[in-house]
Amino acid sequence: MDLEFSAAEDAFRAEARAWLAAHVPDTPLPSLETAEGFAAHRQWERTLFADRWSVVSWPEDYGGRGASILQWLIFEEEYYAAGAPGRVSQNGISLLAPTLFEHGTAEQRARILPPMASGEAIWAQAWSEPEAGSDLASLRSTAVRTDGGWRLSGQKTWSSRAAFADRAFGLFRSDPDAPKPHQGLTYLMFPLDAEGVTVRPIGRLDGKPAFAELFLDGVFVPDEDVIGEPGQGWRVAMSTAGNERGLTLRSPGRFTAAAVRLTALWRGQADPSDTALRDRVADAVIGARAYQLFTYAGASRLAAGSRIGAESSLNKVFWSELDIALHETALDLLGPYGELADGAQEAPSHGSWAEGHTFSLAGPLYAGTNEIQRDIIAERLLGLPKGRR
C-alpha cells in the first residue's frame, strides 16, 4: 500500500475542502430524526447534488464524479472534518445503490439512482421483522405472484428512516416451499405511500422517530422493482449486507473527525491529573487512526481488483465498538452538561455528542449483531469449528 497521495488526489482534496468551506451551514441542522430536520437534510442533499458532491464515486451519468475509491475516502475525511450535516440519503446511497450497481438492470439504475442522488427520493431499509433480525433468513413477510408483479404482506420493524422516507427496499418470502430458509426469497423495492402500507414511527431513547415499523397488506409492486432474479434475494441481500458492515456505510473520516473533536474537548476542559480519562482519549484517537489505515489497505486491495468478503465483519465489530468508546469518553469529559440534547440552550456542541452517543448504542445491533459478526470471523476467517446454535 502506497501511503502517499498523488497530485490528482491532493487536488481533489483541495477542491472538496474549498467547496465544503463555502457551503457547510454555519449552524448545525436540526436532527434528521425529526420532520423539520429531515426536510432540512433533504435540502442539503440537493445542495450537494447541484455541484456533484452527493455521490462522488458514482458515474457522471447518475450525478457523480466518477471518483476512485481513494478519492471517495478523501472526500469523506474532508466532509466530516468540515462538520458537514449527516446524510439522510445514506441508506440509499450506501446500501441500495451498490446493490443496484451489482445486481440491478440498466433501466433500474437510470430510473432510481438520479433521484436518490438528488435527495428527491429518500430510502428506508426494510429488512428486520419482529422475529427476524440477525437471523434474517427466518423472515415471514411474503411476496405473492400476481399479474404484472407481486403482492407484499407482512410486517417489517426497526426500519431506519422509514418515518419520513419515500421508498423502501427489503426481502420477502416468495417461495414458502423452498427447502432452506435462505432460499425462495425475493428482493423488492416499494413506495411507502402505496395503498396497503402503514408506517408507524418508533421512538428512540430520546423520543425521536429514528425508526418505524411497516405493515404491508397486499401492497402491489411491479416486476420492474424486483432486484435480481425472483427467489435469489438472499444472494442480492448479502451484497447489501457486505456494504452495510464494511466500507461504504462507515468511512473512517467519521471517526477521525470525532477523534479530533474529542482531543479538543480534552485540551479545553479536562483535568490533566485524570490520567485514566486521558488514556481513554488516547485509545480513541489510536483506534480511529488504526481503522483509517485498515480501511485504506482494504481500499487499495479493492482498487487492485480484490473483493472484500468476510473481512467486512471485522470492520463492523471494530467501528461499532469504537463509536461507543468515542462518545462515552466525550460524555464523561463534558460531565452533566453532556447529557443535554439538541434544543437545550446549554447543550455542548448543540447536543451532538449526546445524540451521537444515543445512535452509537445501536451500532453493535444493526447490520447484524456483533455476536453474529464474531461467529463469521471465527468460522470464515479463522477456520474455527461452528459453535452450538
The angle that helices 233-245 and 311-334 make with each other, rounded to 10 degrees, is 40
The CATH code of domain 250-382 reads 1.20.140.10
Would residue 218 be called left, alpha or beta, if left means φ above 0 and alpha means ψ between -120 and 50 degrees? left
The secondary structure of 195-223 as a DSSP string is: TTEEEEEE--TTS---EEEEEEEEEEEEG
| Average pLDDT of every residue of the chain | 90
pLDDT in tens, 18-48: 999 999 999 889 889 899 999 999 999 999 9
CATH topology of domain 123-231: Butyryl-CoA Dehydrogenase, subunit A; domain 2 (2.40.110)
Domain boundaries, the chain: 7-87, 123-231, 250-382
What cell numbers appear for 161 in the block?
428512516
Establish whether 244 is a catalytic residue.
yes
Q: Specify the pLDDT at position 351.
A: 80
What cell numbers appear for 236 in the block?
442480492
Q: CATH number for 7-87: choose from 1.10.540.10, 3.40.50.2300, 2.40.50.100, 3.30.70.260.
A: 1.10.540.10
**Could you say which of 45, 78, 244, 311 is catalytic?**
244
pLDDT in tens, 241-286: 666 555 555 788 999 999 999 999 999 887 888 899 999 999 999 9
> What number is the average pLDDT over the span 187-210?
91
Q: Specify the pLDDT at position 73.
A: 92
> What number is the average pLDDT over the span 112-123?
97
pLDDT in tens, 301-335: 877 877 777 788 888 899 999 999 999 999 999 98
